[in-house]
Structure 1
Amino acid sequence: MKVKEADTPVHFPKGRFWRKKQRKSNHKKKNLLDNPYIKLESKDDFKALMGKIKWIFSHAKPVIPYLIFCIILNVIFALIGIFNVVVSKSLIDSAIAGNQSDVMKWLTIMITITLFNMCISPITSFLSTHSSMKLSQGIQRKIYKHVEYSDWLESSKIHSVSLLTRITSDVGNISSTILGTIPSLVSLTVTLVGSFYTLISWAPSIALVAVFIGPFMVIIGRIFSKKLKELYKAAQEEDVKYRSFMQESIQNIMIVKTFCMEKINMGRLEDIQNNKYKIAMKNTKFSVLTSMSMSFCSSLAYFTIFIWGILNITKGVTTYGTFTGMLQLYSKVQAPFSSLAGMIPGFIGTIAAAERLMEIEALPLEKAGTTENTEKFTKPDIEFKGVTFGYKENTTILDNINLTIPSGETIAFVGPSGEGKTTIIRLLLSLINPQEGTAALREEDIYEEFTRDHRHLISYVPQGNTLFSGTIRDNLKYGNHDASDEMIKEALKNACALDFVEELEEGLNTAIGERGVGISEGQAQRVAIARSFLREKPILILDEATSALDPETEVKVLKSIKSLNPKPTCIIITHRPSALNICNRIIKLEKGRLREVSRDSIYEVASELV
């Protein structure tokens, strides 16, 4: 809930100390209002919390059978643990009494319990790993799929490293809580009830001490955990900043070097690391305070039982076996309270993680079309009718444009930077949608507005180096997974790339690094063009696709495009006269409007744009 600022300014007295006190008070109030730990102050807070819990369990359906099985096993282990205390007590008392037959009986039972635990433990470990991987991977697939099919403009507002952190770290947090914390919570509850029942039957007064100390420890944990959700989110956001900085600076290391940014980047890195350090130290402070408080309470209760036991043994009121059993039972009563308090930060972190993942699932999906009709298009015309679009409110990039591109035509878009050339490409690729008007495909009696399904009709060569790490063959097959070597060589030949690929020591199997490291910019661009040729789609889009080629190679590539069979509709964004020469039409974008340029003005237009 946002707190609105007062309409009129607040005037403070001139006293320096009063103003300082007032600022502290205001800061404290603001922190309390903005504190994002779990609130249950209203029905809406409760509904929001239940919504997050429901979301978590809706994604846990595939592992529910294992979860139930795991809970049952944990309950059995908890009961066996309590019974083992009774066995230990009886064994010690029998040994002190010199009753050899009872000693052997209780010893046999203890060995059987130990062997049973040893045999079952590996099974639970394998099941735990299996279910944890299945759950994590299942949630990751769902989130990743949603990102892939989400609206491009909305998803691009979230940094890629933030998306990666949510898909990995936050999913891992949720998986750990569902498969680790929940079964442990049930087990601890059974242990608490069973241990308390046994303890109260042996010494009611000591049981009351344990019960009093336990809730007190939970309260302490709750007090110190109020800041933990805030710290969790702050830590995750700072981690995103750190990873983003590292990723971008390493990816753009050439820019860093050429702009002599090494020292400045080191300063930025130190600032981020200092912030991470401060958050980590705050986390540690709360953990230490919680641990110290709990240790004090636990030690107080332990020494109370210890003194009580020693005095009763001295008086002959209790046996040594009962004394040791009581100490073990107290630890089993105290441990659940301590563990429960320790689980609170985990639960808070899980709720925060769920919030972050729910934000991704809240991203709107792209507009889908009818695949059946999409496959019927073979030579579609492109039509823009009254298309208006702007990335920001009250800002228009394209203003009521109308344009028809007949099938098989080669058309160029030119214009100053920022006038909307790339925006038209994004409309064709359905990465964005018109705010007014329609962008559609037409062929005979079929008419459909552009959707994500129509990307199956488009080959696209974007600006810059867009190759992936892997072999050249892998990169080319991104255009057509089923392409044969003959098809690949033909595409490379048309892109003027076959010669240099064959000269490489491993040819098509040559491994290249991220963004084509290992080959030149011009070579990487030709591989990208060959990749688009392999798609063999009716629409080909070249966005400054020949900018890194020398004029002679560029002309050869453009002639290959003109001779492709079947001939695609080719849309080119370029500033180079050699590319403009092959176009049927040249369209200039200025101030959101389209204007056709005569062929006699090609060099004049090109010189204006250089």
Structure 2
Amino acid sequence: MVQGAMREAECVLLGGGGRMVKLQYWQEFKRAMSYMKPRAWTYGIGIVGNNVIAALGLNILMAFIYKDIVNAAVGSDMPLLLRSIGTAFALLAVSSLLCTILTYRYNASIRYTMTDIRQQTFRHVQRLPMSRFENTHSGEMLSRMTNDLNTIEHLYADSLGGIIYAVVVGFAAAIAMFALNWPIALFAIALGILTFYVNTRFADSFRKINDEIQRGTGKMTQALSDVISGVPLVKMFSLGGVIIRKYDQTNEDVAGLSTKRTRKYAYLDSVNSVLGSLSFVGIVIVGGAMALKKGTDFGTVMAFIKLQGNIGFMFSQAGNLATDVQRVLAGANRVFELLDDPVEREGSERSLLGDEKKAIELDGAVFRYGEGAPALDRLSLAVERGQTVALVGPSGGGKSTVVKLLLGFYPIESGSVKYWGRSGQSYSLSEVRDMIAYVPQEAYLFDGTIEENIRYGNMDASREAIIAAAKAANAHEFIQEQPDGYLTAIGERGSRLSGGQKQRIAIARAFLKNAPILLLDEPTSALDAESEKQVQDALRMLAKGRTVILVAHRLSTVEHADRIYVIDRGQSVEEGRHEELIRKQGLYERLYRLQLKDAAG
């Protein structure tokens, strides 16, 4: 990603790989925490208070109570024993109640914040340019919006809480141990520092593995998306084995990385266990010897045994949490890369309303996909109000690219696009799209009811207006035959409807939008003869009183167009009415003659 590369370059300039990595981690962490700002006090008090109370009330203070209980038992001091037990129960009750309240408060803040992040991500994705979707697998984007986004929640809920608890319990235990017996405290802290050093040595390797696992998880989501979206094709061409092998390979790669990470965690846990045991055994030996020599009491030794675990826990968790935070930030960074992608432009200049006779005008438009040859090469065309203009020509000539530019899916490289005499830059993208109704070659329907899919043309439309639009689109009759009429659920992508039925729903949606400009991108090319006739009748009704641009492959469908542009290699090589172009005996005439031969054959 460009954003990631820029971040790396910036960090290199600041000096050295280690410094670069630390700066990147810190920037990612700050950005993740910035989303919690509106609820900072509630979240901060909740997570800090909960972990401080758990560390002190349920741990450190309990060590001193253990000390009194042991000394009371050794010295047969019943009043001290009862008092210590009562204090322990009271401390547990109060601490547990406060922790429950505070846990609810900070978890509620996390839920609301994650809702905000998911909404921002969803809205941002909707505003991304078409090129982002065409150059990125849908599964990869879904992985960033689900798997990677969930790692931010883990940071809020687990990673930060673990850090606060480890730091508080560790420092409090150190202070308590020094207050009880400083020589033993120094021994425990020295072993703790050694534990921390060992854990941090593993940190960088864990980050690299976690980055690779997140990318692998994204590829697995891609494979799943391909299987689910392409089930008919997979079954038709018996591609199950191929798809399975692809998925298995990615799954095995992720499993291998996960095993590698687990192996490293096992090594780390073994080292931590050895160092923890050395600390425990050392304190028992030293403390026991001092107790026998009356240098301390057995209660203090028991308190040390309880507290030394907290010192070891702080240093071992510091390393574990460092690797955990790196894993989380690896996922968070993939979300931030998505959020940093530039969105579609909005209108930036304003001009007076110009010549309204021309609904659409392209003047010397140049556009290319990526670094290749231009898809449009100084293309010029004009469509007057109320005209029907057809774009025809060989496949790959640039016809559908014109439609994409008019819809604002891409910015042109040079030249201009005008609507009603005004520069396209003077409109916002929403204004451009509000004035255009679009019927594509393959209608996309959302999972839901027929009525909902028609209503997307105008969310404020009444039920009567929806029915009127369906009637105009020749869709009312087949809708009435559905099990629940307009409330019939049609499945994902309208899977329960035929191609012709889906097209008529799309046309009804365009009727309901009632936009002045109509773009038709080969809307009947994939239909059978009967469905095509019904759709063509509906399109003729829809075109009345509107400015129409029709992209067509079958030239018989454009014979009555007011003007025809023949697009080849991104240029308008011929233009005129059907009869004029036939007389010219150019590219249009050759294509028309070939199609007549094919139809006769």
Pair in the same fold by TM > 0.5: yes
CA shift, 1:371, in A, is 11
Match of 1:91 in 2: 69
Structure 2 equivalent of residue 596 of structure 1: 575
Q: Describe the superposition over 1:233-274 as per-residue Cα deviations: whole angstroms up to 9, x where unpaired.
A: 211111111111111122111111222222222222222222
Q: Describe how 1:266-415 pairs up with structure 2 within 5 A.
A: 266-369=244-347, 381-415=359-393
Matched, 1:452 2:429: yes
Please say if residues 249 and 256 of structure 1, whose CA atoms lie closer than 8 Å, have aligned partners that are also in contact. yes
Indicate if the aligned counterparts of 1:147 and 1:155 stay in contact, CA closer than 8 A. no
**CA distance 1:181–1:373, change in 2 (3 Å):** farther
Report the AA paired with residue 272 of structure 1. T
**SS of residue matched to 1:511:** coil
1:121–1:373 Cα change, 3 Å:
farther
Residues 53-92 of structure 1: pairs in structure 2 closer than 5 A = 53-69=29-45, 70-80=47-57, 81-92=59-70
Matched to 1:54, the amino acid is K
Supply the AA of the counterpart residue of 2:77.
N
Greater CA deviation, 140-149 or 339-348? 140-149
* Cα separation, 2, equivalents of 1:379 and 1:179: 60
Q: Which moved more, 1:54-63 or 1:474-483?
A: 54-63
Deviates more, 1:316-325 or 1:114-123: 316-325
Unaligned 5+ segments in structure 2 are: 1-11, 583-587
Q: How does 1:184-583 map to 2 (within 5 A)?
A: 184-369=162-347, 381-443=359-421, 446-449=422-425, 451-453=428-430, 454-564=432-542, 567-583=545-561
| Cα displacement (A) at 1:560 | 3.7
In the other structure, the counterpart of 2:91 is 113
Q: 1:565 to 1:275 in 2, by over 3 A?
A: closer
Amino acid at match of 1:57: M
1:7: which partner in 2?
none
Write the mapping of 1:176-191 to structure 2, written as runs, cut at 5 A: 176-191=154-169
Aligned amino acid, residue 331 of structure 1: G
Distance 1:88 1:376, change over 3 A: farther
1:162 equivalenced with 2:148 (yes/no): no
Cα displacement (A) at 1:295? 0.8
Distance 1:514 1:535 in 2: 23
CA distance in 1, matches of 2:525, 2:68: 87
Report the alpha carbon displacement of residue 102 of structure 1 after superposing the two structures with TM: 2.3
Q: Deviations over 1:308-346 (max 9, x none)?
A: 334444445443322221111011111111111110112
| 1:398–1:468 Cα change, 3 Å | same
Contact 2:504 2:538 in 1 (8 A): no
> What is the SS of the residue equivalent to 1:575?
coil
Report how far residue 554 of structure 1 moved.
3.2
Residue type matched to 1:77 in 2? A
| Partner Cα separation in structure 2 for residue 166 and residue 211 of structure 1 | 41
Does residue 1:586 correspond to 2:564, yes or no?
Answer: yes
In 1, Cα distance between equivalents of 2:280 and 2:397: 76
Contact 1:161–1:240 (CA under 8 A) maintained in structure 2:
yes
Per the normalisation by structure 2, the TM-score is 0.88
Q: Which amino acid aligns with 2:322?
A: I
Question: Normalized against structure 1, the TM-score is what?
Answer: 0.87
Separation in 2, partners of 1:460, 1:375: 24
Matched residue, 1:26 = none
Q: What is the CA distance between 1:230 and its match in structure 2?
A: 1.5
State how far apart, in whole Å, the 1-side matches of 2:138 and 2:443 are.
18
Q: Which amino acid aligns with 2:30?
A: K
Letter in 1 for 2:238: C
> Is this contact kept in 2: 1:214–1:337, CA < 8 A?
yes
Asked if structure 2 preserves the Cα contact closer than 8 Å seen for 1:494 and 1:560, the reply is yes
Q: Percent same amino acid at aligned positions?
A: 27
Q: CA deviation at 1:564?
A: 4.1
Instruction: Give per-residue Cα distances to partners, 1:45-89, cap 9 Å, x unaligned.
Output: 555444333322322212311232021342233232311211221
CA distance in 2, matches of 1:294, 1:44: 29
Asked whether the 8 Å contact 2:67–2:303 carries over to 1, the reply is yes
Q: 1:423 & 1:259 partners in 2: Cα distance?
A: 30
Deviates more, 1:349-358 or 1:402-411: 349-358
CA distance in 1, matches of 2:331, 2:355: 44
State the distance in 1 between where 2:472 and 2:142 align: 38
Change (3 A) 1:271 1:42: closer
- Give yes or no for contact 2:358–2:382 (8 Å, CA) kept in 1: no
Matched-pair contact (CA < 8 Å) for 2:417–2:423:
no
Residue 144 of structure 1: which of 96, 105, 122 is its match? Answer: 122
**Cα gap change, 1:374 to 1:569, in 2 (>3 Å):** farther
Pick which of 98-107 and 283-292 moved more.
98-107
Asked if the contact 1:385/1:437 (under 8 Å) is kept, the reply is yes
1:605 counterpart residue number: 591
**Residues 1:254 and 1:378: Cα distance change in structure 2 (over 3 Å):** farther
> What one-letter code is carried by the residue in structure 2 that aligns with 1:307?
I
Alpha-carbon contact 1:155-1:363 (below 8 Å) kept: no
How much has 1:128 moved relative to structure 2? 3.4
Question: How far apart are residue 200 of structure 1 and its match?
Answer: 2.0
Instruction: After superposing the two structures, state which structure 1 stretch, 337-346 or 364-373, moved more.
Output: 364-373
Structure 1 residue runs without a partner (length 5+): 1-35
What amino acid sits opposite 1:72 in the alignment?
G
Deviations 1:458-510 (A, max 9, x none): 11122224111111112112222122222112221222211111001111111
2: CA distance between counterparts of 1:184 and 1:496?
63
Q: 1:473 to 1:375 in 2, by over 3 A?
A: farther
Higher mean Cα deviation, 83-92 or 40-49? 40-49
Task: For 1:99, give the aligned amino acid.
Answer: D
Report if aligned partners of 2:562, 2:577 keep a CA contact under 8 Å in 1. no
Distance change (3 Å), C-alpha of 1:596 and 1:125: same
SS in 2 for 1:158: coil
Q: Is the Cα–Cα contact under 8 Å of residues 53 and 99 in structure 2 kept in the other structure? A: no
Aligned counterparts of 1:198 and 1:311: Cα–Cα separation in 2: 20
Q: What is the distance in 1 between the residues matched to 2:151 and 2:143?
A: 11
| CA gap 1:196/1:39 in 2 versus in 1, 3 angstroms | farther
Letter in 1 for 2:53: I
Distance in 1 separating the partners of 2:501 and 2:362:
35
